[in-house]
Amino acid sequence: MSEIDYSKRSFNYYPTNAIVFSKCVGNRWSAPEVTNDFNFSLHCFAGVFHYAPSCFEGMKAYRGVDGRVRLFRPDENALRMESSARYLDMPAPSVEMFIDMCVKCVQENWDCIPPYESGASLYLRPVLFGINPQLGIKSAADVMFAVMCSAVGTYSGAKSLVPGAAVLSRNYDRAATYGSGGYKLGANYAQSLHAYNLAHKMGYRELLFLDSATHSHIEEFGSSNFFAIKHGCYITPNSPSVLPSITNKSLRKVAEEFGLKVERRTIFIDELETFEEVNSCGTAVVITPISRIDDKVTLESGTITREYRYGDVCGPVSEKLYKRIVGIQNGTEEDNYGWCMFVNDPK
C-alpha cells in the first residue's frame, strides 16, 4: 500500500524523481538526458523569456485495475506539439522521440504513479521552448524539449463529476479569430490569466470564452473544450480558434458507440437555454459537469445576469461517457480502438 493518500490530491505540482530533456541546437537533437535537477540554466536572452516561443502538452499515465500503466493516445499529443511548433516556426521532436521521452519520464517516476483505487494519475507535461539568445523578433532556432510530471487528482479539487458554475467571458477573449487558439501555446494561457483571476474572485470555477469576432457563439473554456447533450446529440463547437482536444475527439467516438448523433458546429449563446447537460472536457478536467452558466450582460440600465442551469448532479449521458472513457484509460473497459499504449515497469 502506498503511504501517500493520492485520493486527496488536486491538480498541482507535487515533487517527483526526475525529468527528461533534450536540446535541438543547429538542427541536431542531443541524446535525451534524465536528471533530478529540476532547474534549467538558460541564457537571459533566450527567446522564451521575451517573445514566448513556447508550447506544451498535457497527458496522463494511468495505473489500471490490472496494475499495468497506460498512456492515452500519446501519438495525438506528439502530433499536436508538432503542429504548435510549426505555428511558431521552430523545431519539434519527432513523434517517436516525443513518445520515447514520455515513456522514459514515466519509467523514471514509476514509484510516483498513483494506485488505481486513488482515482489519481501521473500527469505528464511535455514542454518545448526557444533557448537561443536573441533580441530581434524571430522564431527560435534552438529549442529545449523536456518532459516532467506530477501525480495529480481532479482539476477542480472537487470530487470527480461534481458540477461547478461557469461564467461567459464578455470582456476578455482567449484567442483571436485568425490567431493561435488552435495550438497549445503558453501564450494562449497567459492571455486568459487575468480574466480567470476575476472569474475565480467572483466564485466561478470556470470561464467560458466566446468567439472574438462577434461574441455571439461559444468557443471553449480556458482549460478545456465545451460539449453539450440535447435530444440524443453530442454537440461541440467547431472553430479554428478552439484547441483540438484529444479527449473531445475520443468522446465523439464513444458518443457514436452509444448511439448519440455527433454535431460539431457553431453554438450561439441563446442555444445554452436548450441544453440538457453541459460539460468541460480535457486531459486535466476529464469530464467536469457544469451546473450553471452565467452571462453578465451590460445594458444601459446596468448589468443583468442571465442564468442557464443544468443541475447540481452530473447528467446521465455525460456520466455514461465519463465511465466509458475513464474505463478505457484504466483498463476496466475494453479498448476497442487501441488508444492505450502500455508502459513497461523499468525494473
Indicate which residues carry an active-site annotation: 184
- Out of 283, 288, 329, 330, the only residue in the binding site for ligand COI (CB under 6 A) is 283
Site map (CB under 6 A) of ligand PLP, residues 265-284, x = contact: -----------------xx-
For Cα atoms 163, 168, 173, give the angle at the middle one, nearest 5 degrees.
125
The least distance separating ligand COI from the CB of residue 159, rounded to whole angstroms, comes to 18
Toward ligand COI, which CB reaches closer, 25 or 162?
A: 162
Q: Which span (63-71, 157-165, 217-225, 321-329) binds ligand PLP, by CB under 6 A?
A: 217-225
Number of residues that bind ligand COI (CB under 6 A): 5
Eight-class DSSP state of 146: E
Cα 240 off chain centre by = 17
Please state whether 54 falls in left (phi above 0), alpha (psi between -120 and 50) or beta: beta
- Out of 33, 58, 118, 253, the only residue in the binding site for ligand COI (CB under 6 A) is 58
The span from the CA of 83 to the CA of 128, in Å, is 12
- 175 touching ligand COI, by CB under 6 A: no
Which residues in 114-128 are b (16+ Cβ under 10 Å) and which e?
A: bebebbbbbbbbbbb
Toward ligand COI, which CB reaches closer, 121 or 134?
A: 121
Eight-class DSSP state of 154: B
Quote the cell numbers at residue 41. 540554466
Instruction: Return the C-alpha torsion angle 241, 246, 251, 257, nearest 10.
Output: 120
Residue 260 site contact among ligand PLP, ligand COI, none (CB < 5 to 8 Å, cut-off depends on kind):
none
- 206 touching ligand PLP, by CB under 6 A: no
Residue 220 site contact among ligand COI, ligand PLP, none (CB < 5 to 8 Å, cut-off depends on kind):
ligand PLP
Return residues touching ligand COI (CB under 6 A): 58, 223, 282-284
